[in-house]
Amino acid sequence: MKVPFTWKVTGWFMVGWSAEYEIGDVKPLRYFGEDLVAYRDHAGDMHIMTGHCRHLGAHIGHGGKVVGDCVECPFHGWRWGPDGRNRKIPGEDRVNRGLRLQVYPVVERNGCVFMWHHPEGAAPQWEMPDILGMFPELGTDPGNFYRPYPEFSRKTANEPVHPQVVLENGPDSLHFEYVHGATVTPRMLDYSAVGHTWNFLTGWPDARSDDPDRMALKIHAQMFGLGGSISAFDGSSKHRLIFATTPVDDEVSDLFYSIWWPRVPGDSSDIPPPEVRERVERQFLVTVWEDLSIWRYQKYVDHPPLSPKDAKPYLSLRQWAKQFYDVPPADAKAPA
């Protein structure tokens, strides 16, 4: 997908789920055009850094080993610390103080792993929020929900979709009927751009009521930068979800989707029972594939002829999105 803005977006971006990394696990990742290594050290902390060893360039994510808080390169055993510095060269009693791997800040929130990306390596400019803590009026206790991973999580890799295009689904009320087979059209009840967040409240009118203002379902949502959005459903359904998009390079992204589904009263298990799994799959997990069938072939339109219903929030979102583009697009012509 060609877009008139960079894929090297600033912000927090989801790169996986905590449960994918046991203590001592080392894995290769590729995001923002960089080969990366992710590992969980022996104290349980996650780290993400440049994947290629500064000695002779082996990819540490393929065969590297955790030693204490370091990761050891599989080629000649050089060890790198969580600050990216060289900690050990086998057979030598010195370290190389000049060489350093670039370190990307990592946080884990509610079982999801996020990395901070800034095209020039600047430090995080805001905190990644707690997913279940975001809408305190709707409850914050993780114990009220089934575990999101693996049952209620999906990832799809290397999709030709830019994060902004995914978020533009939020203010797009009119696609629900066509793409998602909705029988009522949701209504944007409120929206606001606040710093690095874009917040909205959507209502799904109650089809059985004569009162057009009566809502069967409300969806509170916050975009945590361009990396994704966190939603809380209130009404006929009371689940939470995260939908996140992380650029792999300047053409494709990985998409992550997790749902926190309320536990059936009296069920003390963390693992959702089959009938709940089946319902969530059918009603909610499919929506991502429906949107993707459009996004995969969509062409970005710079000045779309928007319906009056959607125009204001849509343009607000696009204006807000500009703050995350600290560099020009890769194919931008140099100024004459």
Determine which helix (DSSP H) or strand (DSSP E) holds 92, and give its type and residue range: none
Q: What does the DSSP assignment read for 216-280?
A: EEEEEEEEEGGGEEEEEEEES---EEEEEEEESSSS-EEEEEEEEPBPPTT---SSPPHHHHHHH
Q: Which of Fe ion, ligand FES, none does 53 bind, CB closer than 5 to 8 A by kind?
A: ligand FES
In this chain, which of 14, 29, 66, 73 binds ligand FES, going by CB under 6 A?
A: 73
Least separation, in Å, of the C-beta of 182 and ligand FES?
53
- Sole window of 2-10, 52-60, 209-217, 227-235 interacting with ligand FES (rule: CB under 6 A): 52-60
Task: Count the neighbouring beta carbons within 10 Å of the beta carbon of residue 294.
Answer: 14
Does 291 interact with Fe ion (rule: CB under 5 A)?
A: yes
- Sole window of 49-57, 175-183, 261-269, 279-287 interacting with ligand FES (rule: CB under 6 A): 49-57
Q: Which of ligand FES, Fe ion, none does 172 bind, CB closer than 5 to 8 A by kind?
A: none
Least separation, in Å, of the C-beta of 80 and ligand FES?
9
CA angle 249, 253, 254 (to 5 degrees): 125
- Cα–Cα distance measured from residue 46 to residue 105, given in angstroms and rounded to the nearest whole number: 9
Does 175 interact with ligand FES (rule: CB under 6 A)?
A: no
In this chain, which of 58, 107, 193, 252 binds ligand FES, going by CB under 6 A?
A: 58
On whether the CB atoms of residues 27 and 40 are closer than 8 A, the answer is: no
Q: Is the peptide bond before 262 cis (omega within 30 degrees of 0)?
A: no
- Cα–Cα distance measured from residue 191 to residue 242, given in angstroms and rounded to the nearest whole number: 18
**Residue 48 burial by Cβ neighbours in a 10 Å radius (0-12, 13-18, 19+):** buried
Does 70 interact with ligand FES (rule: CB under 6 A)?
A: no
| Minimum CB distance to ligand FES smaller for 40 or for 52 | 52
- Sole window of 86-94, 185-193, 284-292, 317-325 interacting with Fe ion (rule: CB under 5 A): 284-292
* Residues at the contact surface with ligand FES, assessed by CB under 6 A: 53, 55-58, 73, 75-78
